[in-house]
Every structure is written in C-alpha cells, then in structure tokens.
C-alpha cells in the first residue's frame, strides 16, 4: 500500500501595497473596489483554496519624510471587507491581519466572533505586532510599546481574547418560547483577566461562534515571533519558501512545539509564494523577468537601496553603481511604516553582499535590486509549477502556500485554471470542499478551550 500523499493547503493573498503588485499592467484593476475582492475570492473558492488572505498596515508608508507614492496605496478595513466577502462565498476561509498593539482585546474578540458567526465558521486571524510610534500617531494611546514588549503584549492579547472566545460555552442560549427562558445562565459570557497589559472584567456579548475562535496565523520571523507561533498559532505565514530554507524553518518551528505540549500537525507552515506561468518553461522565464522589471523600476530600486543604506539617495542614478560608503546604522529613519525594513537585521552585511554581487556580475543598482529581491518562487509551465509545489510539500518544506498574485484582481485566474487541476489529479489537493469550517479545511485538531 502506498503512503497517502500529504495534502497541500492554499491561501489567496489579495495583492498588497508593495512594489510586487504591478499597478501599471493594463490588466490591473482597482485595489479598493469591492468587485476586485469578490473576483479574487471567487477565483480562490472556485479552485477550492483553503482561504482568502488580507494584509494590513495602519499608517500610510513614508519615505524621505513623504508618503511613498510609487506603490499601490489604499486598503479597506480588514473585518468589514471579510464580512462582505462572507456574503459572496460559501466555503472559502476568510483570514485577515489584525494588529495586537493598536487594538483592544474586547473589541477584536467581538469582531472575530461576529465574523465567525456571519461566515458560519470561516474566520482566520493573522496576529501581527507592528508597534512603531509612527503608526501609533493614528491611535488614542500612541506608540506606547517598546520593541521588546511587542510579543509580550501580543501573547497577552491573544490569551485575553482566548478567554473572551471561551467565555460562552455554547449551550447558554435555549430560547424556549414556552417557558420564556432565553438564557440558561444569567452569568453567560462572564470573564476576568488581569496581567501587566490588560485588566478587564465583565460579560462578553457575542455568544460562542461556530469555530469557537478564529484560526490563528502568525507572521513574525524573529526568535520571539517563532516562539509566539509555537505557543499559540495554528499556522505560520513565512517567507522561507525554498526547499532548504523551508525545511530548516519547518524543523525549527515544529521543534519548538513539544515545549507547549503540542504535536507537529498542530502548526502549519505556509510560506508566501509568487509565480510566473507560461506555455513553455522558457516563456515563463521571460515573463518572470518582464514582471520583475515592472516591479522594480529605477525609482523603486533607489528606494530599496535607501532601506539598506538608511539615507536619502535621490541624487543617485539607478542605472549607475550602488552608493559609495556604508549604510547609516542604527534606527532606520528613511522608511517608515514598513515591516520589511525591520527584517534587514544587519545592513552592513547586506550592503557588503550586494556590492560583491554587483562587482561579480557587473550589475547596476537597479539590476542588483532586481536580483536580490523577491524573484518569483515558482516559474514554469503549469506542470512544472505543480511539480515544484507538490515536491516542497511532500518533502516537508511547507504545508502549503499563500499565493500572492502580482496583478489585482485577475492574477490568480490562470493558476486556478491550470495549476490547481494538476495538483488535484495527483491527489495532493482537494477536488472539492469536504469540510465546512476553515479549521477543518486546514485539518487542524478541534479547539482546546479553557487551557
């Protein structure tokens, strides 16, 4: 008997506000009209994806002290657009990014519990911890969190929200018309929580939702972020999407689970992935390069180099060499409101690597940026890409992928039509939905309440 194939899980990421979203493409549609969200969600559902995914950033990005104008700008409110999508889909999971710094647990818990009710059990929460004072300027309490406290607050936020999700057991509403008893228990929803971030008590006002709580995703990459995921998340959204990096990452994060009494199947690893699809592998390679050049214009390349060098390079020629001199070390002040900049952990080393590459291959500044940033994860014919995806999952470098198309809203269409059927033929991806809730689509064990 052959071993059953590992099942691939797929998410559809609505194209975001990075340079990877190509707005100059003639096919590119609105980033904000609901029709665009509906299009991507329906494509994903037609292809039996596990979920739709939405990122979030709570302050418009700035560079050199001005709002960054080269990339797509403008996004919806996460909860509101997911609730609307619940009305135009029936099985697709609906996962959104919600920050644990600039929110309060009571409100977020009632929004997720409501979304879970309104979608009949399809809600997912990507917990992020962006904390900067720059973003805080849009909120009541400002930037009150030190960087090292972000996961402490996130953990306490999630634990607090967990108490609220569990505050109703699920059997309190009897609604017996004859006896006139609506609630079995006057104390339904009672909770108390006290720690160094939150001191709250009362009665939660949204009764238990179909999934009990939303599926929890986590997207931080630091040691603290990985530990947080191992302790609390159902899935990790990561950028480690190659065989080696993926296997190492999977080994690392799944290795942390035992400490929390959790098994390997309780945390899925879902790297983000991009793709360039062609009728031949050669055509796909050509297309990939073309898209990369659209994604990295000369101006965009300069901004990227500024992220590393941490200073204004507007007088540089993108078709000329990398800047002279070393990056300005210390707090990155040139670009604000960008999580990716924080992932340049050692700018001096990054600059050195880029310079070596430029010298070895005789590359201009723009060509370096094209070479070092976000080449498509999967390039080739539908068969090639299906092979690559399936291999990575069968070899345990990932449990699936969150696909990020580069065009809104039609960028997933050809993947849905051409690649997904091949994955289904191999028996690695569902031919139809067999489950109702997002948690069940992902094959996660039932929620363990009240830990």
Ligand X SMILES: Cc1cc2nc3c(=O)[nH]c(=O)nc-3n(C[C@H](O)[C@H](O)[C@H](O)COP(=O)(O)O)c2cc1C
Residues that bind ligand X (CB under 6 A): 55-57, 97, 99, 128-130, 219-222, 224-225, 237-239, 272, 339, 342
Q: Does 75 bind another protein (CB under 8 A)?
A: yes
Eight-class DSSP state of 163 = H
Q: Rounded CA gap, 389 and 19, in Å?
A: 24
Buried-state track 288-314, b at ≥16 Cβ within 10 A, e below 16: beebbebbbbeebbbbbbbbbbbeebe
393: left (phi over 0), alpha (psi -120 to 50) or beta: alpha
Owner of token pair 């999977």? 250
Eight-class DSSP state of 20 = T
User: How far lies 217's CA from each of 58, 233, 387, 394, in Å?
Assistant: 18, 6, 26, 22
Smallest distance from another protein to CB 80, Å: 4
Smallest distance from ligand X to CB 225, Å: 3
The option from ligand X, another protein, none interacting with 60 (CB < 5 to 8 A, set by class) reads another protein
Element (H, E) at 45: helix 34-46
Residue 165 or 237: the one with the smaller Cβ distance to ligand X is 237
- Which listed range, 72-80, 242-250, 367-375, 396-404, lies at the site for another protein (CB under 8 A)? 72-80
Residue 236 or 442: the one with the smaller Cβ distance to ligand X is 236
Paired with 378 in beta bridges are 275
Q: Rounded CA gap, 226 and 236, in Å?
A: 8
The option from another protein, ligand X, none interacting with 110 (CB < 5 to 8 A, set by class) reads another protein
Smallest distance from ligand X to CB 342, Å: 6
Binding residues among 32-71 for another protein as defined by CB under 8 A: 32-34, 38, 57-60, 66-67, 69-71
At a CB cut-off of 8 Å and minimum separation 6, what does 61 contact? Answer: 17, 67, 68, 71, 73, 335, 336, 337, 338
The option from ligand X, another protein, none interacting with 425 (CB < 5 to 8 A, set by class) reads none
Q: Which of 2, 4, 148, 180 binds another protein (CB under 8 A)?
A: 180
Residue 147 or 183: the one with the smaller Cβ distance to another protein is 183
At a CB cut-off of 8 Å and minimum separation 6, what does 319 contact? Answer: 298, 364, 365, 366
Residue 223 or 425: the one with the smaller Cβ distance to ligand X is 223
Element (H, E) at 97: strand 93-99
Q: Does 157 bind another protein (CB under 8 A)?
A: no
Smallest distance from another protein to CB 64, Å: 11
Q: Which of 168, 275, 309, 415 binds another protein (CB under 8 A)?
A: 168
Q: Does 195 bind another protein (CB under 8 A)?
A: no
At a CB cut-off of 8 Å and minimum separation 6, what does 226 contact? Answer: 220, 236, 252, 253, 256
The option from ligand X, another protein, none interacting with 7 (CB < 5 to 8 A, set by class) reads none
Residue 103 or 394: the one with the smaller Cβ distance to another protein is 103
Binding residues among 287-306 for another protein as defined by CB under 8 A: 297, 299-300
**Closest C-alpha to 94, from 74, 75, 76, 121:** 121
Binding residues among 107-146 for another protein as defined by CB under 8 A: 107, 110-111, 114-115, 117-120, 137-142
Q: Which of 198, 222, 371, 413 binds another protein (CB under 8 A)?
A: 198
Smallest distance from another protein to CB 70, Å: 5
The option from ligand X, another protein, none interacting with 443 (CB < 5 to 8 A, set by class) reads none
């Amino acid at each position: 008997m052959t071993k059953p194939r590992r099942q691939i899980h797929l998410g559809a990421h609505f194209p975001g506000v990075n340079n990877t979203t190509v707005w100059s493409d003639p096919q590119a549609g609105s980033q904000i009209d609901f029709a665009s969200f509906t299009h991507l969600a329906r494509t994903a559902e037609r292809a039996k994806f596990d979920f739709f995914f939405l990122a979030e950033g709570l302050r418009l990005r700035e560079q050199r002290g001005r709002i960054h104008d080269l990339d797509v700008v403008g996004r919806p409110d996460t909860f509101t657009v997911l609730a609307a999508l619940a009305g135009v889909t029936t099985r697709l999971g609906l996962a959104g990014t919600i920050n644990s710094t600039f929110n309060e647990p009571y409100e977020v818990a009632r929004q997720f519990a409501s979304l879970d009710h309104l979608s009949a059990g399809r809600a997912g929460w990507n917990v992020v911890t962006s904390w900067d004072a720059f973003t805080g300027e849009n909120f009541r309490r400002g930037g009150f969190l030190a960087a090292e406290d972000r996961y402490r607050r996130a953990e306490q936020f999630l634990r607090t929200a967990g108490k609220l999700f569990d505050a109703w057991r699920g059997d309190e509403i009897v609604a017996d018309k004859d006896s006139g008893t609506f609630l079995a228990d006057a104390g339904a929803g009672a909770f108390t929580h006290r720690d160094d971030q939150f001191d709250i008590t009362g009665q939660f006002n949204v009764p238990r939702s179909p999934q009990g709580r939303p599926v929890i995703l986590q997207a931080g990459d630091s040691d603290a972020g990985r530990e947080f995921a191992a302790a609390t998340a159902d899935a990790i959204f990561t950028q480690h999407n190659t065989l080696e990096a993926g296997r190492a990452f999977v080994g690392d994060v799944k290795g942390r689970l035992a400490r929390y009494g959790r098994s390997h199947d309780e945390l899925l690893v879902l790297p983000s992935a991009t793709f360039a699809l062609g009728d031949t592998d050669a055509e796909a390679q050509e297309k990939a390069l073309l898209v990369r050049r659209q994604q990295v214009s000369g101006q965009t390349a300069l901004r990227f180099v500024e992220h590393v060098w941490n200073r204004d390079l507007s007088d540089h020629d993108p078709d000329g060499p990398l800047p002279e001199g070393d990056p300005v070390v210390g707090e990155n002040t040139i670009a604000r409101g960008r999580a990716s900049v924080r992932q340049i952990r050692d700018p001096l080393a990054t600059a050195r690597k880029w310079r070596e590459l430029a010298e070895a291959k005789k590359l201009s500044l723009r060509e370096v940026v094209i070479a070092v940033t976000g080449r498509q994860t999967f390039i080739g014919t539908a068969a090639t890409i299906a092979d690559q995806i399936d291999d990575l999952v069968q070899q345990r470098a990932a449990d699936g992928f969150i696909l990020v198309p580069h065009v809104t809203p039609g960028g997933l269409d050809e993947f849905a039509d051409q690649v997904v059927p091949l994955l289904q033929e191999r028996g690695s991806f569902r031919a139809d939905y067999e489950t109702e809730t997002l948690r069940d689509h992902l094959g996660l064990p039932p929620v363990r309440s009240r830990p």
